[in-house]
Amino acid sequence: MSKNSTSSLSKNLLPIIKGSYRHGYPLSKVAWFKVGGPAELMFIPKDKEDLINFLKNTIINKFNLFVIGACSNLLIRDGGLDGVVIKLGKDFKSIKNKEDYIFVGAGALDIVVSKFAASRGIGGLEFLSGIPGTIGGSIFMNAGAYGKEISDILISIEAVDRSGNIHNIESKDIKFSYRSSKIKKNLILLSACLKGYKEDKLEIEKKIREIKKLRSETQPVRKKTGGSTFKNPEDSNYKAWELIELSGCRGMEKGGAKISDLHCNFLVNSGTASAFELEELGNDIKNKVLYSTGVTLDWEIERVGNVLEVSS
């Protein structure tokens, strides 16, 4: 954690909650990259009311606040995160449907939602089986795969602000773009309504199997990775991985960080990497692509937290 942390998150300053507090929780335990320093305080709310109680009874504006989901497209720096890290608990993973509308908690995994839809004969959500994240995180970044984005199926969201006030927002009132949304950063997503369409269960399951097969053949799904590293540039006819390949970056390494042999837009922790090494390797790739092609790659992986301060 930073030496400049202004927080004094001691137990006597925190409200009584039904969930749990974890001081100094090592975020490497939950991050897909298996790197990252500690959270000054992790709060796992039991349910929506518990979260609202915490927000209303904590002077939250004095502290940094960060919400994590599956941590699949996230690089947490080695110095960890100051303030409060919120990880939504079991009650935020509920899934139910009414006809072809699906009501889902923000903490539900995309792949689980896809399977639920298939079991109910609801098509149009198969692409979610190729996204290794949660619904909440996917909505914030407008995640997509195989030609579809979550904004294509989103009807509305329910969110809470840092004062504990509930906001219900329709999808048409949210500005979405490629891997981005204009949802206010002070909002915590609680749930969403998605819409599919009636389709034969066997046909849906076939599509999901095809996506799973393609993903396992083209992406390092069993490695310590963080998903796509860079966005596909909108000002180029080439995808990010093609630019990386054309620039001669394949095989680049830095310490325990390396480019995946299977897909060169994926960074991999070979087992000993630090977050610093992974981020530096990404920056080296960006610089080499810019020098070779004139195209600036933008990070798709969100990088957060403090750089670890090393004593001299």
Q: Per residue in 14-27, pLDDT tens?
A: 899 999 999 999 99
Catalytic residue among 40, 149, 158, 300: 300
Catalytic residue among 2, 114, 129, 228: 228
Phi, psi (rounded to 5 degrees) for 222 = -105, 20
34 within 8 A of 28, measured Cβ to Cβ: yes
Helical pair 110-119 and 201-218, crossing angle rounded to 10 deg = 150
| Alpha-carbon distances of 119 from 114, 126, 133, 189, rounded to whole Å | 9, 11, 20, 25
Q: Based on the residue annotation, tell me whether 162 is a catalytic residue of this protein.
A: no
**What mean pLDDT is predicted for residues 121-146?**
96
Q: What percent of the chain has pLDDT over 90?
A: 90
Q: Per residue in 178-194, pLDDT tens?
A: 999 999 989 999 999 99
Average of per-residue pLDDT values in the chain: 94
Tell me the helices (H) and strands (E) count for the chain, helix number first. Answer: 6, 21
**What mean pLDDT is predicted for residues 124-153?**
96
Interatomic CA distance for residues 147 and 127, integer angstroms:
8
pLDDT of residue 220: 95
**What mean pLDDT is predicted for residues 248-254?**
97
Q: Per residue in 216-237, pLDDT tens?
A: 999 999 899 999 999 999 999 9
**What mean pLDDT is predicted for residues 159-170?**
97
pLDDT interval class at 283 (50, 70, 90) = very high
pLDDT of residue 101: 99
Q: Per residue in 33-73, pLDDT tens?
A: 999 999 999 999 999 999 999 999 987 667 889 999 999 99
Catalytic residue among 179, 242, 260, 292: 179
pLDDT of residue 259: 98
pLDDT of residue 6: 46
Please give the structure tokens belonging to residue 151.
């904004």
Q: pTM, whole model, 2 decimals?
A: 0.93
Domains of the chain: 11-90 (3.30.43.10), 92-204 (3.30.465.10), 220-304 (3.90.78.10)
Q: Per residue in 81-127, pLDDT tens?
A: 999 999 999 999 999 999 999 999 999 999 999 999 999 999 999 99
